């Protein structure tokens, strides 16, 4: 069977109508081209070129052979590109931990894009609160996690990723107007759903309320995101929730979402990793995509402003 090199040199000579120009194009010598084509003719048992002192002319056999040869060379070139692409592609396993606030709006677009760009990567996503994710990371069960900012324990490396305003979320026909900043002096006698004490956000919310004169009549501890939203839709209970998770309600107006202001309350998100090991390259690729989605969603969220409206009568 003819070698791939012989077929390439034949195609070059056919197209150039010259052994010397074919040699220059293929980065070899004219005698080498002539020798390879002579061997190809001997193997096929036909003459492929009529040779003269000034040029070489393809025969009818060469014309038929060339049509098949270029199809073969094109197929092989495509196979080489695929092999290089797959060989250079990211692969392996990525284990990611995300807080529920992120999975609601940012996860699906990032997953779809990542799966399309890196089909050989096995991606595992764990949804949990920051304490659980930190424990999983320390145990070696996650490559990285995205959680609210906190003082990381020994063995954990933390770096800032993004910030999102905390929003007061209530029924659209209630006391507060969607999109308009809410000052603490309007927060009187709240029926407030709060995360459990082990949730990193709980202490920050309670501190902000107490420091700024807001008052809470009743509390419910509820760590279910969808349960919280369902209660708000059906009652006069309200909640303070990260802006990053409220993009759907901002768009459709199904709930009133208003940033806390004077002073604002902001949630900082950080990436935590095990200090003793670096995440694999595929993990960095997924982090880049999820960060892009966070930025896109954040652009839709109302931000604190200088004026804080009074509640409706």
Compute the distance between CA of residue 210 and CA of residue 187 in angstroms, rounded to an integer: 11
Burial (Cβ within 10 Å: 0-12, 13-18, ≥19) of residue 193 = buried
Strands 144-148 and 92-98: parallel
- What's the confidence (pLDDT) of residue 87? 56
Strand, helix or coil for residue 134: helix
- Taking residues 226-254, what's their average pLDDT? 93
Compute the distance between CA of residue 5 and CA of residue 11 in angstroms, rounded to an integer: 10
Compute the distance between CA of residue 13 and CA of residue 25 in angstroms, rounded to an integer: 9
Which is more confident, 200 or 2? 200
- Taking residues 242-247, what's their average pLDDT? 92
- What's the confidence (pLDDT) of residue 95? 95
Compute the distance between CA of residue 96 and CA of residue 115 in angstroms, rounded to an integer: 14
- Is residue 190 within 8 Å of residue 215, measured between CB atoms? yes
Angle at 272 between CA 205 and CA 87, to 5 degrees: 140
**pLDDT beyond 60 at 312:** no
pLDDT digits (tens, 9 = 90+) for 41-54: 999 999 999 988 77
**pLDDT beyond 90 at 267:** yes
Give me the percent of the chain exceeding a pLDDT of 90.
55
Compute the distance between CA of residue 166 and CA of residue 178 in angstroms, rounded to an integer: 13
Is the backbone peptide bond immediately before 226 cis, with ω within 30 degrees of 0?
Answer: no
**pLDDT beyond 70 at 307:** no
- What's the confidence (pLDDT) of residue 101? 86
- What's the confidence (pLDDT) of residue 71? 86
- What's the confidence (pLDDT) of residue 198? 79
- Taking residues 177-193, what's their average pLDDT? 91
Strand, helix or coil for residue 43: helix
Average pLDDT, the chain: 88
Compute the distance between CA of residue 165 and CA of residue 312 in angstroms, rounded to an integer: 22
- Taking residues 30-40, what's their average pLDDT? 91
Strand (E) or helix (H) holding 105:
helix 100-105
**pLDDT beyond 50 at 102:** yes
- Fold annotation for 92-298: D-Maltodextrin-Binding Protein; domain 2 (3.40.190)
- What's the confidence (pLDDT) of residue 72? 87
One fold for 4-88 and 92-298: no
Six token digits for residue 252 = 């459709």
- Taking residues 252-278, what's their average pLDDT? 91
Which is more confident, 160 or 311? 160
Give me the percent of the chain exceeding a pLDDT of 70.
94
Out of 15-29, 68-82, 91-105, 205-219, pick the least confident.
68-82
- Is residue 159 within 8 Å of residue 270, measured between CB atoms? yes
pLDDT digits (tens, 9 = 90+) for 120-172: 899 999 999 888 999 999 888 999 999 999 998 878 889 999 999 999 999 99
313 pLDDT tier (thresholds 50, 70, 90): very low
- What's the confidence (pLDDT) of residue 309? 41
Residues 6+ apart with CB under 8 A from 71: none
- Strand ranges for the chain from DSSP E: 49-51, 56-58, 92-98, 121-127, 144-148, 156-170, 190-194, 216-221, 238-242, 256-259, 266-274
Would you list the domain boundaries of the chain? 4-88, 92-298
pLDDT digits (tens, 9 = 90+) for 281-296: 889 999 999 999 999 9
| Nearest-10 Cα torsion for 12, 13, 19, 24 | -10
- Is residue 100 within 8 Å of residue 245, measured between CB atoms? yes
CATH architecture, domain defined by 4-88: Orthogonal Bundle (1.10)
- What's the confidence (pLDDT) of residue 220? 95
> 282: closest CA among 123, 125, 90?
90
């Amino acid at each position: 069977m003819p070698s791939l090199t012989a077929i390439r040199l034949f195609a070059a000579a056919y197209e150039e109508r010259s052994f010397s120009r074919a040699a220059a194009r293929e980065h070899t010598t004219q005698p080498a081209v002539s020798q390879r084509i002579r061997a190809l003719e001997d193997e096929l048992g036909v003459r492929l070129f009529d040779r003269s002192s000034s040029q070489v002319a393809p025969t009818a056999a060469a014309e038929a052979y060339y049509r098949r040869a270029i199809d073969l060379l094109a197929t092989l070139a495509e196979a080489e590109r695929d092999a290089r692409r797959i060989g250079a592609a990211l692969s392996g396993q990525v284990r990611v931990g995300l807080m529920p606030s992120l999975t609601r709006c940012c996860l699906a677009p990032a997953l779809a894009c990542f799966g399309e760009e890196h089909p050989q990567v096995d991606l595992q996503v764990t949804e949990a609160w920051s304490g659980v994710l930190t424990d999983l990371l320390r145990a070696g069960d996650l490559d990285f996690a995205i959680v609210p900012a906190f003082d990381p324990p020994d063995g954990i490396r933390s770096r800032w990723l993004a910030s999102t305003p905390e929003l007061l979320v209530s029924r659209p026909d209630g006391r507060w107007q969607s999109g308009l900043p809410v000052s603490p002096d309007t927060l009187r006698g709240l029926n407030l759903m709060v995360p459990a004490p082990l949730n990193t956000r709980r202490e920050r919310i309670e501190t902000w309320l107490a420091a700024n004169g807001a008052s809470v009549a009743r509390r419910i501890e509820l760590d279910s995101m969808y349960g919280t939203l369902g209660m708000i839709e059906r009652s006069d209970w309200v909640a303070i929730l990260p802006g990053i998770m409220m993009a759907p309600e901002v768009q459709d107006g199904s709930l009133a979402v208003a940033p806390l202001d004077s002073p604002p309350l902001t949630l900082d998100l950080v990436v935590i990793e095990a200090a003793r090991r670096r995440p694999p390259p595929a993990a960095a690729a997924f982090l880049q995509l999820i960060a892009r989605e966070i930025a896109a969603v954040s652009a839709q969220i109302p931000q604190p402003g200088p004026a804080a409206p009074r509640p409706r009568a």
